[in-house]
Amino acid sequence: MIDSVEERYRQLEAVILDSYPGADMGRIRAAFEYARDAHSTQKRKDGSAFVTHPLAAAEIVAEIGLDEDSLCAALLHDCIEDTPVTHEDIEKHFGKDVAEIVEGVTKLTRVVYTSKEEEQMENLRKMLIAMAKDIRVILIKIADRLHNMRTMEYQSEEKQREKALETMEVYAPIAHRLGMQKIKWELEDLSIKYLDPIGCEEIAEGLRMRHVEDENFFNRVQDRITERLNEHGIECTVYGRIKHLYSIYRKMYSQNKVLSEVLDLYAFRIIVNDISDCYNVLGYIHDMYRPIPGCFNDYIGTPKPNMYQSLHTNVIGGEGIPFEVQIRTWAMHQTAEYGIAAHWKYKEGKDGKVADEEKFAWVRRLLESQQDGDTQDFFHALKVDMFADEVFVFTPSGDVVNLPAGSTPIDFAYNIHSEVGNRMTGALVNGRMVQYSHILNNGDIVRILTSNSAKGPSRDWLEIVRSPEARNKVRQWFKKEKKEENIIHGKMSFDAELRHANISAADLAREEIMPKLLARLSFKTTDELYAAIGYGGLSAQKLVNKIREDIRAAAKTRKKEEEPPKEEKKPEKRVKPIHGVVVEGVDNCLVKFARCCLPIPGDPIVGFITRGYGVSVHRQDCLNSKSDRQPDETDRWVQVSWADVSDQNYATTIVVVLRDRTGIVVDVASVLNALNVKITSFNARDAGEGLVTVTVEVEVKNRDGLVAAMARLMSISGVTDVRRGEG
């Protein structure tokens, strides 16, 4: 058996040297020997030495490219849980980071799954990530679960179904969330075999029967694609596969189909060297095979939230068989296979420089990380921060309760039930008595002590609780149970705020403030008002501030009534606006807008009386409106102004200067359409030196609309200038 263990270790060593050549193999060997000695008396269900499990988990961790501390932690991950070894022992021999990772994996292992409702599962998934202060804890736990599922045949049927359901509902979704598609698919395939062995065997048998036919199809398509791409000088790797078992199972049973009715069984993957090749390959594929309308997705231009990138297209082959084609670069392929782990394994570019960090914006949102230093330093600072505003705790029966961060046992009690909170006399957190103000942490097990003779909540609880639900339930209790006490407490608070605001009882009586206030709040008596303040339904401070405003308003009204009446001025005759413009002293005048400057509401304007055409409206900064240029016509200039309200649109022009490229017309038009700006004329011309001038005549309601449109146009890639046209 020792030889078998040694052989497994040498296999692990080979994988590590291939994926992480800089690892300290002496330290990793020491971790292996420490784990082997700690588990020396333990066996697995198949009779093999227990240490073969940590070895297998470490091999998975090595394959996904984690660092040296992760490899050591994977080898030691069961020591605290299953042996006398302590956190301090591991820290002494292998350092603080390794010890904390092992402790984190141990905590996740101890989580009890008792409820399978969808909401509970989502809370568990969130809680697992929130509990893991270091993302490596989750990754090692997934590797641990993957190996356990690979060897599940040695467990009892009941254990197989329990672990398979747990894997399907908790660990596979987490792997998906972290972008680890390869591991997610294997977890799902292994789980469904135990959850529905008969259904899976039917699919497997159907695939076996058509194996030769499928192989021939794959070879024909693969050879044809490879030959075509090589002709055009594109280096590529092409291979086909049957979609994974659970994907087929889900389609068959959700759509009530047999295997022969599942059309998209086949998928081909084409891996190339750079992004431009991806789009070139897409063109060749669509030239070779007929694309299926509506079945194309560009996840390169718009990556999925978990960093996944590829071009997806569905086509129909010469035999009339539909299949999917995925086109990606090698870097995208590693991200698709290993998700978040690929960020560190492949973050070094071919030239040794750190790869473009813009590709990993999702990672930065997920993690609080510092990217200075080597991989070890990077992992050292790596923290999970997905659910910083939530805390996940357990009931004694194992159900997960989701609360706002900073919640206390009082919030927990009222989350369970109003009566639990009202009859609460104490709280135990992880078996230890705590104060009501104790802040709950992720993974805490909370037990509320209650008594039928409890006095009920205290007013201080309103300052302690964090969740709005708990605060409202405390207020409701005081409203219902302590009316007399609320009246006394509310009157004291109200009187104290009146004194603070220097408002006397005489002020309230003189202005008849209280009757108006009671009517406004729908209270019949002042006692009802005091009770509302007492149980927390009203704020005495806000109420008194409102009273002070009412007193000031009443004083102003009284002062106006005491002033002598002013002589009423006859209303000035309002000139009716024409096209939104008012011409001073002239009514029903023909108005037109000068083409030389095309004014719009918001522009300072001036009018010029034309012979036979009414008043021509110019912008004040228009060259044609300068009176010193036409001294003999000074008396023909009149004052004009914009009407207060106008719902019509006005024509004006925008000139955009930008670097010449494909799609500029579409970009400019798209921006204006998005702003609901009507385009009446569009002209583009070559301005020389690689520039293009686009002149657009548009209709806007006012200057603000024009400024907004010009600002958005300035944000278009390649734009060097945006200005208003002269007409």
Structure tokens at 663: 């799609």
For residue 581, the 8-state DSSP code is E
Concerning whether 82 is annotated as a catalytic residue, the answer is yes
For residue 593, the 8-state DSSP code is E
Of 4, 174, 144, the closest CA to residue 70 belongs to: 144
324 touches 266 (CB < 8 A)? yes
DSSP string, 29-84: HHHHHHHHHHTTT-B-TTSSBTTHHHHHHHHHHHHTT--HHHHHHHHHTTHHHHSS
Structure tokens at 599: 């004014």
What is the separation, in whole angstroms, between the first and last Cα of the chain? 91
Residue located via tokens 């095309």 = 598
- Integer Cα distance of 630 and 644 in angstroms: 31
User: Would you tell me how many other CB atoms lie within 10 Å of the CB of residue 296?
Assistant: 15
Residue located via tokens 């420490």 = 34
658 touches 627 (CB < 8 A)? no
Beta strands in 412-562 (DSSP E): 424-429, 432-434, 446-450
What is the three-class DSSP state of 240? Answer: strand
DSSP string, 483-537: HHHHHHHHHHHHHHHHHHTT--HHHHHHTTHHHHHHHHHT-SSHHHHHHHHHHTS
564 touches 605 (CB < 8 A)? no
Structure tokens at 205: 């048998």
DSSP string, 681-714: EEEEEEEETTEEEEEEEEEESSHHHHHHHHHHHH
518 touches 527 (CB < 8 A)? no
- Integer Cα distance of 498 and 427 in angstroms: 39
Of 28, 100, 22, the closest CA to residue 59 belongs to: 28
Of 56, 81, 75, 61, the closest CA to residue 20 belongs to: 61
Sequence-ordered list of residues with C-beta below 8 angstroms from that of 297, at least 6 positions apart, any chain: 311, 312, 313
143 touches 74 (CB < 8 A)? yes
Dihedral over alpha carbons 464, 468, 469, 474 (to 10 degrees)? 50
Longest dimension (CA), the chain: 114
518 touches 529 (CB < 8 A)? yes
Concerning whether 118 is annotated as a catalytic residue, the answer is no
Sequence-ordered list of residues with C-beta below 8 angstroms from that of 589, at least 6 positions apart, any chain: 578, 583, 614, 615
For residue 301, the 8-state DSSP code is T
Of 37, 103, 11, 22, the closest CA to residue 68 belongs to: 22
69 touches 136 (CB < 8 A)? yes
Query: Looking at 7, 18, 46, 82, which residue is catalytic?
Result: 82
Structure tokens at 113: 């799954």
In DSSP terms, which residues pair with 428 in a beta bridge? 433, 447
Provide the residue type at 630 as one letter: Q
Sequence-ordered list of residues with C-beta below 8 angstroms from that of 255, at least 6 positions apart, any chain: none
Query: Looking at 6, 63, 68, 81, which residue is catalytic?
Result: 81
727 touches 594 (CB < 8 A)? yes
Q: Give catalytic residues, as residue numbers.
A: 81-82
